Amino acid sequence: MQIISEELNHYLSTTCENENELLTKIDRETQLEVLMPRMISGHYQGRVLCMLSKMLNPKRILEVGTFTGYATICLAEGLANDGKIITIDINEELEDKVRGYFLESGLAHKIDYLIGNAVELIHDINEEFDLVFIDADKKNNGVYYDLVFDKLKSGGIILVDNVLWSGKVLTNINDTDTSNISTFNQKVTNDTRVEKLILPIRDGIFVIRKK
């Protein structure tokens, strides 16, 4: 199931802010050179992440799942002057390319890019976050959620990507990823410590506010 048609997605992209030349370059090179390019946030979702970040003006952001750094840069655009984003990815093969993008963005001084197992790395991070973006392996959504929750300020926001999973959450499909995502969605739905809603943007973004 395609949540938003190509025509509507094009309309959304033409009525929001333009992505800058670097983001266009990252998108193009990801599509041409990187496996599973669909994982990139892309223009419209990137502007959504940027807008949410600018509204919060966070001092500390945590991103789980860097991929090629597109969303990282979008989130970093909204950081406070003394702000920092910590982004974690396990794919060391992309590290040189992504660090190059961060340098080109002019935001590298605000980005701590960590390579390794996010479960282990999050545990050792001693920071309090205003905003968390989870966009990594879907089987561990619940694990990441639990790990970051006590590190999130009251009133802070957790964003979780791909929670509609191309509409498969509405079906009887029982593959592992769909099952994991459905289980996570129910976990958040039942969590009385937060206010929450799903935005049907691209593949679905869960917006979760800690009370």
Report pLDDT digits (tens) over 108-147: 999 999 999 999 999 999 999 999 999 999 999 999 999 9
Handedness of CA 201, 152, 83, 115 (dihedral sign): negative
| Alpha carbons 56 and 63: distance in angstroms, whole number | 15
Q: What is the pLDDT of residue 171?
A: 85
Q: What is the pLDDT of residue 1?
A: 64
The answer to the question of residue 73 being in a domain is yes
Domain containing 146 — which CATH number? 3.40.50.150
8: pLDDT strictly greater than 70 = yes
DSSP, collapsed to helix, strand or coil, labels residue 163 as coil
The answer to the question of residue 1 being in a domain is no
Q: What is the DSSP letter of 211?
A: -
pLDDT (tens digit per residue) in 162-196 = 999 998 999 877 789 999 999 999 999 999 999 99
pTM of the model: 0.96
Q: Which domain holds residue 175?
A: 6-34+42-210
Q: How many domains does the chain have?
A: 1
Q: What is the pLDDT of residue 75?
A: 98
Rg of the chain, C-alpha, whole Å? 16
The answer to the question of residue 148 being in a domain is yes
